[in-house]
Amino acid sequence: MTRDNFRWRALPLTLVLWTIGACLAPDVQTNSTLDTPLQWESVETENTPIARHEASLVAFKDTLLLIGGRGLKPVDEYRVHENKWVQKSFPPIELHHFQAVTIGDTVYIVGAMTGPWPIETPVDRVIAYYPKEDRFEYLHDIPEPRRRGSAGAVVHDGKIYLVGGITNGHMDGTKAWLDEYDPKTGAWRVLPDAPHARDHFQLAVQDEKLYAFAGRRSRQRTSQGFELTVRFGDVFDLRTNEWRTVSNSSEIPVQRAGNMAIAVNDEIVIGGGESSAQVAAHGEVEAYNTQSRTWREWPRLNRGRHGTGFARIGEYIYTASGSGNRGGEPELTSLERLKVQRSAPVRAVTEHRPVHQQWHTLTLSFEGPTTSETANPNPFTDYRLLVDFVHPKSSYTVRGFYAADGNAAETSADAGNVWQVRFTPDELGEWTYSARLQQGEGIAIAADLDDGTRLDLKDASGAFYVQPSDKDGVDFRANGRLTVEKGYFKFAQSDRHWLKGGTNSPENLLGYADFDGTYRINDETRDGEATAGENLHRFEPHIDDWQLGDPSWQDGKGKGLIGALNYLASEGMNSAYFLTLNILGDGQDVWPYRSPDDVSRFDVSKLDQWEIVFSHMQQKGILLHIVTQETENELMLDGGETGSERKLYFQELVARFGHHPGLIWNLGEENGPVHWRPEGQNTQQRIDMATYLKAVDPYQNPVVLHTHSEAHDKDEILTPLLGVSALDGLSFQVSERETVNAEVQKWMRLSRDAGSPWLITMDEIGKWDIGAKPDALDPTHDTLRRHALWGTLLAGGAGVEWYFGAHQPGNDLTSEDWRMRQNLWRQTRHAMTFFETHLEYWNMQPCEVAHVYCLSAPAQRYVVYLPDQNNIDLTGLVAPGDYAVQWFDPIAGGALQTGSHPQTQGGTDLEIGKPPAPSGDWVLLLDARPPTSNDGSE
C-alpha cells in the first residue's frame, strides 16, 4: 500500500460564500470559492525524519510519531514545542501498510504487513508501542482467518475497529471485513461485511459511525496494482450494527488509494493518495460533511503524497513523510500542517439512489398483510408478489415470496407481514423497480400476471444504481451468471469458460440437523439402497473448518456444514450436488415444506437457512447443483405431471434461490422408469418440467436431467429428448467406468446433430454400490482418474462430480467427512487446472482414434491420456508439422515437463519419446510450433 502524508490547504477564513454556494448548488460535490483560503504550511524543522512510506503517522499527546514503513525503520518522534525530530527504537520486525491508533499511553498496530512487494505477509499478532518507555511488545494473536494488512483502523469506546484490507500482499484477496478487537481482553468479534471490499485506505470515526472512503482492490496478479479504485464510501452505525445503504452521495470526487483520513468537526477529510490517473501522488484534499452528506474541496497539500497519515495536535492537522509519486519513490521527509477552522454550515440532505453491485443479490422487503404459514388464505398459494426490475438494456419480472417476519432464519418465525424479493442485477447503471402484491385463490401459479386483487404495499417502487462487483477469484459474484454455450459452461457476460469438479455425495446434504423442521421420516434401509442411518447430518469433522467471519445462525448453528463447504473449496472443488425433495426416497429427510404431508405450505425459516448456506457456497465458488426430486418422488407431485403442486414447488425454488449466478436445475435423479422401478415419468412429463422451469425462471439458469446408468436405458429415455431446447444437458450416470468416454462422445454427437448441443457432466460413476471409495481403500483412484475424470474431459464433457457408492464407508447418504477422499479431490483439481491453464478446450474436439482418450484442435494442439504400461498406438493421430512435446503428471499435478524428445514431427511416424519418469500415468500435450523462416531470420 502506498499512502501519502497529506499536506492540506488551510480552511477558508470566512465561510459565507461557500455556504451560499452549498445551499444553491444542485450537485453532490461542492467547491469552495473563497477569496482568502488558508493554505497548508510547510514546517521547517531543526532536522528531518527518516524518509519512509507505507508508514503510519499518529499523534501521542503533544508529539507526532512516524512508525514503520518499507524496510526496518526506527520510530521518529516530532516534538511540536521543540520543532525537532528525535529518533527512537526499532520495531521487532519490518512493519508497513497499517493505520496505527492510540488508546491511553499505548499505540496499537493491528493488521500490518511485513516483507517485500508484491507478496507481503499479514502480521499474525497485535503489536503495541509504548512511547513513554520507547518499547514495542507483542500482544494478542490475530485469528488466522482474519489476518490481513492495508486495512483501516480506528478507536471507539476503547475498542479497535478494523475495516477492509488484503490477505495476499498486493496480489489479490481484498476483503470487505469488519472486526472489533478489545485490547484489554484480546477478544476478537466479527461484524457484518462492508458493502465494498477495499485496501490501501484509512478509516475515520465520528458520532458512533465508521467512515470508509477511497482505497482500491489491489490485484497485481492481473497487473492491476493501481486501477481498481473504489468509487463509493461505506458508513457503519456502531449503535445498530448495520451498514448504511450505499448512495451516490458517498461517491468520492477524486478516486484514489493510499490516502489519509481524519474526522474534523462534522467532516471526514480525505487527502492525498495514488492512482492510475497520474504519476505524481495526489495532493487533493476533500471533506465529506456527515450531516448534509455532501462533499467540498479543502486546500490542496503543498506536496502530493501517499502512504502516510493525518494526525491532529491542538488546532493543527499534520502530515509527514510518504511517497511523492505513485509507487514507492521518492520517499519524502517533509512536514506540513493546516490550521483547523470551525465546521462548515450544514445544508439539508438530498435523497440519493442506493448503490448496489453487479451480480450481488439485492433483497427488497415490503410490508404487506400480516399472515402465517398456516393461515387461510394460504400465503403460498393465494398471494403473489411480482416485482418488475427495469434497466435501459434489459428488464425482469421476478417473483417474490412470503418471508414471515423477514428474519426467520434467526427467529424461526412462521408469521409476520414481510414479503421479499431477491434480485441479482446483470447490468451496470440505473435500475428502477415496481412491486405489486395480488390476492386470489390459486393466484400463485396463475398464468395471467394481472389476475387477482391488488393489495396495498408500502414503498412499492424505487430506484438504485449498480456499479461493478468488487469481488475477485472464484466468487461467482466476481464472474457473473453461468450459462451453457455449445456444450460447455460459460459466463454470460464474458468469454470465460468454466469446468465443474466437485461432490455428488451426500445427496441428502440438506438433511442437516441445524436446519429448522428437518428430521428423518423413516430410517429403515431398503434392499439395494444405501444405509442412511439413524441420525441427520452434523458434519462434525468439519466444524474446525468453519472460520471466523463465516455465517451461522441462531447462536452458532450451521458451523459443521459451512466448515465442510470451506474444506471442499480449499481443495479447489467448485460444485455440490444435492436433493431438495426426497420424501419417498432413500434418506427421507429433505423437503422444503412445513410438513411432508402438505405440499402447499413451505417452511420459511428452513428455506432462509438454506439460503444462508447457498450464499456462502456462491462466495466460495461452489455451484449449486439443485436436484429437484429423487427418482422415487417422480410421481409424488401431480402424478408426474406439471400441475398445481409441481408448479408451486418450482415457483418457490425459483423465487427463493434462482437469483444465484452459479446454479443449475436438475429435473430429477435417475429420471424415468427402469426394470428395477417401472413407475416413473414419461417423455412428455419431462419436457413439460423443463419447459415450465425455463418459463418461470427469469434468469434462465441451465436445466439438466440426471440419467440412468445403463446404455439401453439412456437410449430409450434420452432419444426422444434430443432437440428439446428447454433441456440444456445431462447429468450423466454410467455403470461401467471404462465406457464413460465413448458414452459421453455418443450423446454429445447425437445432441449436436439434433441442433441443440447438450452439456454433459459425469456426475454418478458406477457401479452403484462402489462409486468412489475412500482414500484408505483406494489411495490412487486409478480407474476413476483414467476413465471417469480424464475420460470425460477428453470426450468433450464439461466436468465431474464424485458419487460415494451405496456400500462404502461414508456412503452416498451418511458421508460426514469429505477428507476421506482428499486424494480424489486433488487429482480432480490437477485435471481442471491443466485444462483451464493450457487449453482452449471449448474449441477442441475428441480425436477419432480407437481406444485413445484424446482431445484436439487438428494441426494445432493434441492432448492424449497415456495410462501406465499401456502402449497406445498414436499412428495417424497428428497432422504433419513441427510440435513441441510436453508432459503433465495427472496424479501429482504441477508444471508441464519435458521428456526425452522435446519436439517431434507429426505424420505417419510419430516419435514422442519417453515421459519424464518411466512409470505412472502421463498426459501428452503436443503444441504446433510456428514454421521456420527460409532466410534464417527469427
Cα gap 610→331, rounded to integer Å: 52
Write phi, then psi, for 520 (nearest 5 degrees): -100, 125
Mean pLDDT to the nearest integer, 250-268: 96
- pLDDT exceeds cutoff 90 at 19: no
Peptide bond into 767 cis (omega under 30): yes
pLDDT of residue 868: 80
Q: 2 pLDDT band (50/70/90 cuts)?
A: very low
125 CB-near residues (< 8 Å, 6+ apart) = 138, 139, 140, 141, 142
Q: How many CB atoms lie within 10 A of CB 134?
A: 13
Cα gap 136→108, rounded to integer Å: 10
- pLDDT exceeds cutoff 60 at 874: yes
pLDDT of residue 458: 87
- In a 3-state reduction of DSSP, which class is residue 467? strand
Contact 69, 86 (CB under 8 A): no
**Within its chain, how far is the Cα of 407 from the centroid?**
23
DSSP label of 193:
P
Question: Model's pTM, two decimal places?
Answer: 0.89
Q: Is the dihedral of CA 189, 194, 198, 201 positive or negative?
A: negative
pLDDT of residue 14: 32
β-bridge pairing 663-666 and 623-627:
parallel
Written as one letter, the residue type at 39 is Q
Nearest Cα to 789, choosing from 921, 667, 665, 622?
921
Q: How many helices (H) and strands (E) does the chain have?
A: 12, 57
Mean pLDDT to the nearest integer, 25-45: 56
Cα gap 737→767, rounded to integer Å: 8
Write phi, then psi, for 492 (nearest 5 degrees): -60, -40
Q: How many CB atoms lie within 10 A of CB 72?
A: 13
Contact 425, 389 (CB under 8 A): yes
Cα gap 216→201, rounded to integer Å: 8
Q: Per-residue DSSP letters for 705-762? A: EEPPSSHHHHHHHHGGGTT-TT--EEEEEESSGGGHHHHHHHHHHHHHHTTSPPEEEE
Nearest Cα to 667, choosing from 727, 725, 607, 618?
727
In the chain the first and final C-alpha atoms are separated, in Å, by 42
Cα gap 473→200, rounded to integer Å: 19
DSSP label of 57:
E
- pLDDT exceeds cutoff 90 at 34: no
- pLDDT exceeds cutoff 90 at 366: yes
Cα gap 910→22, rounded to integer Å: 79
The cell numbers describing 892, all together, are 501429482
Nearest Cα to 367, choosing from 250, 274, 455, 244?
455
Mean pLDDT to the nearest integer, 603-627: 98
- Burial class of residue 892, CB neighbours in 10 A (0-12, 13-18, 19+): exposed
- In a 3-state reduction of DSSP, which class is residue 676? coil
Q: 875 pLDDT band (50/70/90 cuts)?
A: confident
Cα gap 481→374, rounded to integer Å: 36
Q: 207 pLDDT band (50/70/90 cuts)?
A: very high
Q: Is the dihedral of CA 600, 606, 612, 615 positive or negative?
A: negative
Write phi, then psi, for 394 (nearest 5 degrees): -160, 165
Q: How many CB atoms lie within 10 A of CB 413?
A: 19
Residue with cell 444504481: 465
Lay out the sheet containing 84-87: strands in order across: 55-60, 63-68, 76-79, 84-87
Q: 12 pLDDT band (50/70/90 cuts)?
A: very low
Q: Write out pLDDT tens, residues 427-472.
A: 999 999 999 999 999 999 999 999 999 998 989 999 999 999 999 8
Contact 68, 112 (CB under 8 A): yes
Cα gap 517→604, rounded to integer Å: 10
The cell numbers describing 868, all together, are 501406465
pLDDT of residue 891: 96
The cell numbers describing 695, all together, are 418459463
Name the strand (E) or helix (H) holding 461: strand 461-467
H-only helix segments in 794-924 = 822-838
Contact 296, 31 (CB under 8 A): yes
pLDDT of residue 5: 32
pLDDT of residue 527: 56
Cα gap 167→122, rounded to integer Å: 7
